Structure 1
Amino acid sequence: MRVATRRLLQAAAVATGVGAAAVAVPLLAEPESVSVQVAANGTPVPGQYIVTLKPGASTSAESGRIGAADVKRFDGVLNAFSARLTAGQLAALRKNGRVAAIEQDQIVKTSTVQRSPLPWNLDRIDQRSLPLSKSYSYRRDGRGVTAYVIDTGIAAGHPQFGKRARSVWSAPRFKGDGRDHNGHGTHVAGIIGAAHHGVAKGVQLRSLRVLDEYGSGSMSDVIAAARWLRLNAARPSVANLSLTGNRSKAANDAIAALSRSGVFVTTAAGNDGDDACRYSPAGAPLAFTVGATDSADRRAGWSNVGKCVELHAPGKGIRSTWLGGGSRVADGTSMAAPHAAGTAALFLSHRPKVGFLELQKWLIDTSTKGKVRGLPAGARNRLLYKGGL
């Protein structure tokens, strides 16, 4: 759904549009000090920082040396940790030669807007041209593939999920509660794999909850989720992040590491009508970033653009699963990205051992060219197409 991408790290759903604040890129350590990068246009988490270390340095040793509180270590996906730091602890880390970069943690937030029904999106991705054929044809359903949704959680008991959905991880602040109290994650999961609304109707759905009932969370929790997934994901698998924030090198590096581990990562481009490369995880290397179109193949005016956007997919007026066992219509690049995740799951059910680059190439090569209207000059004109899957 469309999520507000302003000054926050946010779920990239434009069901009102997930927006994200642009966190400035962390500076590399200088000989004797490290600059602290604060989200000038974002919403910082007071007193909380993400500290990236140089190769060979230990996250446990460096966080323990200064007595940091609320430490989350990201070993396995990123040589970094997040913690609450006093001014003195922060000053000590800035002078620490083993520290590569420090970013202030930032908020993630999503909001949604209910709209009138417009169930057109599945129909669009199984044909090359308009008008719509009023049908969705498929030979595969994603069986044997696991789709991970890093979001607000999933309402696992929704009848469209059958017994295919459950929570596998949630940020520590939720104390083990992986349920969706917002609706955004359930909507995203439904586009990927609900029995009626989903692209891959037989895929296993797994939730990693990083956002609360208000659709708010932190970038450090997103990195922690990526770490857990890199260490524990089933194969073959895809992971969808319908959230976005200002550019964060730490987050981008974590997402790239997750992709290299064999999990195909799809991300929302963001809903600021801006350059997607300025945001995270949309600008991450080895992330498959997706912009949004409407039912007339027009680029949504709020959809981010630029060289980091691989292709576009339906993202306006998308009906999918919601809390309470029902459905809701929403807009956003948050809705576009899971169409690509579902299509990737269909492909992996056929060829389970392909890596990120091969699957990325297939999605790009198979996409319908030249159909998206309203793109700026030089933009890649590609529309998601699932081929004969």
Structure 2
Amino acid sequence: MIGSDTGKDAYKEEENVYTSIYENMKNNVFTKQDKVVNKMRNGYIGILCDKTARIIENDPLVELVERDREVVINSIVDSKVPYFKVKDLFFESKNNEDEIILTQMNAPWGITRISDGEKYSFKSLYKYPSSAGEGVDVYIIDTGIEIDHPEFKGRAKWGINLIEKSPDTDENGHGTHCAGVIAGKNVGISKKANLIAVKALNKAGIGMISRLLLGIDYVIREHSKKIDEMSEITRKKFLNSVKIRNRNPKMFKKHRVPVEIDESEEYQFIKEINEADFQVIEKDKDKFLTSLEEYMNIEEIKPKTVVSMSVGGLRSKAMEFTIDYATMLGIHFSVAAGNDHEDACLYSPGSSKNALTVGASTQYDKIAFFSNWGSCVDLFAPGFEILSSWINKDYRVVSGTSMAAPHVTGVMALYLGENSYSPKQLYNRLIRDSYGVIEDEDAEITSFQEIWPISLLFDKENTNNFPLVSTKKLLGRVNKRKLQKVQK
């Protein structure tokens, strides 16, 4: 597996530049036995002999060369759900959409726990903002999704299938279960979020690092495409606005704001609009003078994209590099810590510093016996005996960090449904809004305190407590905004 690169902005380089690098290696380095299987925007996946791999690895234009490895789903047990429980779930899940905070009765324990806050009430009530993740696109890189499952109400769609000769559906159930926790209408957290299936694992729940990278590459392309679409819509809306129709474009010459040249999508967008429609950009040394920043709402061209990955394998630098780049573009990641009861930093994607890595907790706020741990674990979330959707319109109870990560994914979508956040901003917000209530009953074995100074993070004397993801503070802010509007 090859990561070809000309620097940190490799994904941004021109197609002809990348093609020339690739063609040069193909023509001058590859032997007859070497071949490329798949290409990405700044790399490729191939079958290469050791000599070729070493030559490419030493090329100054290449960031890294890595051998492909197997990855597997991070769930460990499942059981069918009695029909009467499913029937009760459907019956009790009716809400008054006029309310700003909605309450679901008889909800699964996992989603109930995250809205309870510091103490679990065991009342099976799930409270959530009425925005419910609306407008957020969640890509699930997994075994696929049964998109016509009743839980998804037309909000799930097929993205891409990276498993050769497999149907465009979930043959395993794992991906559908994760999707249900994230956005199921009865078993899920963000009940209005969009779900997109990225099938990178086979029927047995097994895949390769290379397939995960291709899945992330697909998300990056879709995210970039949506930026272009939203930019065009915003551009047209701006040009048709009252401000433009009632004023002469020459007004911009009188109201200019200096903007330093950079590589941001926002700046390039503003620059293109000025050049195309007003011809008023002037270059002054290292600055452009423009005024559209005063008038345009840049937030309108920022897609809200979240990736959920409940899969794991040995640590991969290529995976870390790819996630780092995707988050730089504004894509949010929630990943499973793994079920090896070991240091999560040894496994990918859990080792990524820019993804929210999630460990599993139980109904009694204990760390699940199987969950990975360590400094790479950012949050804990319910991951033991989790009820959610399954293939064939069914339901299952499943345990694993595979179930914990979707809880955080769903929470991320809830937050993004209320506000716009960069990946770093949302990461920090979820950490601040968490509650240090998860206890480690196996501290002597896992040596948590040696590698994770939780007392410094949470300013608590009880260093046996770890952070549980929670929406309680979000609900408080939503209610506060409602009261402020009423008072006005």
Is the contact made by 1:50 and 1:105 (CA closer than 8 Å) also made in structure 2? Answer: no
How far off is 1:354 after superposition? 1.3
More deviation in 173-182 or 269-278? 173-182
| TM-superposition CA deviations, 1:250-306 (whole Å, max 9, x none) | 110101111111111100011111111111111112101110001111101221111
Counterparts of 1:260-275 in structure 2 under 5 Å? 260-275=328-343
Alpha-carbon distance between aligned partners in 2 of 1:176 and 1:370, rounded to the nearest angstrom: 43
Higher helix share goes to which structure? 2
Does 2:77 align with 1:113? yes
Quick one: which of 133, 145, 148 aligns to 1:157? 148
How far off is 1:226 after superposition? 0.9
More deviation in 334-343 or 104-113? 104-113
Alpha-carbon distance between aligned partners in 2 of 1:177 and 1:241, rounded to the nearest angstrom: 20
SS class of match (1:143): coil
In structure 1, what is the equivalent of residue 384 of structure 2? 316
Does 2:136 align with 1:69? no
| TM-superposition CA deviations, 1:165-203 (whole Å, max 9, x none) | 0111121x4358431111110010110001111011111
In structure 1, what is the equivalent of residue 424 of structure 2? 357
SS class of match (1:306): coil
Alpha-carbon distance between aligned partners in 1 of 2:55 and 2:158, rounded to the nearest angstrom: 39
In structure 2, what is the equivalent of residue 232 of structure 1? 222
Is the contact made by 2:72 and 2:206 (CA closer than 8 Å) also made in structure 1? Answer: yes
* Letter of the structure 2 residue corresponding to residue 71 of structure 1: V
Is the contact made by 1:294 and 1:314 (CA closer than 8 Å) also made in structure 2? Answer: yes
Is the contact made by 2:181 and 2:187 (CA closer than 8 Å) also made in structure 1? Answer: yes
More deviation in 156-165 or 365-374? 365-374
SS class of match (1:81): strand
In structure 2, what is the equivalent of residue 194 of structure 1? 184
Counterparts of 1:144-223 in structure 2 under 5 Å? 144-171=135-162, 173-174=163-164, 177-223=167-213
Is the contact made by 1:123 and 1:135 (CA closer than 8 Å) also made in structure 2? Answer: yes
In structure 1, what is the equivalent of residue 100 of structure 2? none
SS class of match (1:226): helix
How far off is 1:60 after superposition? 2.4
Alpha-carbon distance between aligned partners in 2 of 1:208 and 1:276, rounded to the nearest angstrom: 24
Is the contact made by 1:276 and 1:304 (CA closer than 8 Å) also made in structure 2? Answer: yes
How far off is 1:100 after superposition? 3.9
Quick one: which of 336, 341, 344 aligns to 2:409? 341
How far off is 1:130 after superposition? 2.6
Is the contact made by 1:178 and 1:208 (CA closer than 8 Å) also made in structure 2? Answer: no
In structure 1, what is the equivalent of residue 278 of structure 2? none
Is the contact made by 1:198 and 1:342 (CA closer than 8 Å) also made in structure 2? Answer: yes
Alpha-carbon distance between aligned partners in 1 of 2:51 and 2:437, rounded to the nearest angstrom: 56
Alpha-carbon distance between aligned partners in 2 of 1:287 and 1:308, rounded to the nearest angstrom: 9
Is the contact made by 1:372 and 1:382 (CA closer than 8 Å) also made in structure 2? Answer: no
Alpha-carbon distance between aligned partners in 2 of 1:211 and 1:220, rounded to the nearest angstrom: 11
100 and 145 in structure 1: CA distance in 2 versus 1, 3 angstrom threshold: closer
How far off is 1:63 after superposition? 4.9
Is the contact made by 2:386 and 2:399 (CA closer than 8 Å) also made in structure 1? Answer: yes
Alpha-carbon distance between aligned partners in 2 of 1:328 and 1:268, rounded to the nearest angstrom: 19
* Letter of the structure 2 residue corresponding to residue 225 of structure 1: G
95 and 213 in structure 1: CA distance in 2 versus 1, 3 angstrom threshold: same
Identity rate, percent: 32
In structure 1, what is the equivalent of residue 297 of structure 2? none
In structure 2, what is the equivalent of residue 18 of structure 1? none
In structure 2, what is the equivalent of residue 5 of structure 1? none
SS class of match (1:180): coil
Instruction: State the Cα RMSD in Å.
Output: 2.2
SS class of match (2:126): coil
In structure 2, what is the equivalent of residue 369 of structure 1? 436
Unaligned runs of 5+ residues in structure 2 are 11-16, 86-107, 227-302, 455-465, 479-488
Q: With the length of structure 1 as denominator, give the TM-score of the two structures.
A: 0.81
267 and 95 in structure 1: CA distance in 2 versus 1, 3 angstrom threshold: closer
SS class of match (2:145): coil
* Letter of the structure 2 residue corresponding to residue 301 of structure 1: F
How far off is 1:137 after superposition? 1.3
Does 2:354 align with 1:281? no
More deviation in 137-146 or 94-103? 94-103
More deviation in 103-112 or 277-286? 103-112
Does 2:43 align with 1:90? no
* Letter of the structure 2 residue corresponding to residue 328 of structure 1: R
| TM-superposition CA deviations, 1:67-118 (whole Å, max 9, x none) | 442432232xxx3321011345335435545444321101122365224769
In structure 2, what is the equivalent of residue 241 of structure 1? 309
More deviation in 152-161 or 232-241? 232-241
Alpha-carbon distance between aligned partners in 1 of 2:54 and 2:325, rounded to the nearest angstrom: 29
Is the contact made by 1:112 and 1:184 (CA closer than 8 Å) also made in structure 2? Answer: no
| TM-superposition CA deviations, 1:20-49 (whole Å, max 9, x none) | xxxxxxxxxxxxxxxxxxxxxxxxxxxxx3
Alpha-carbon distance between aligned partners in 1 of 2:389 and 2:59, rounded to the nearest angstrom: 49
* Letter of the structure 2 residue corresponding to residue 123 of structure 1: T
Unaligned runs of 5+ residues in structure 1 are 1-48
Does 2:394 align with 1:330? no
How far off is 1:133 after superposition? 2.2
In structure 1, what is the equivalent of residue 112 of structure 2? 123
Alpha-carbon distance between aligned partners in 2 of 1:113 and 1:176, rounded to the nearest angstrom: 24
* Letter of the structure 2 residue corresponding to residue 114 of structure 1: D
**Count of aligned residue pairs for this structure pair:** 336
In structure 2, what is the equivalent of residue 39 of structure 1? none
* Letter of the structure 2 residue corresponding to residue 164 of structure 1: R
How far off is 1:139 after superposition? 1.9
How far off is 1:248 after superposition? 0.8
SS class of match (1:370): strand
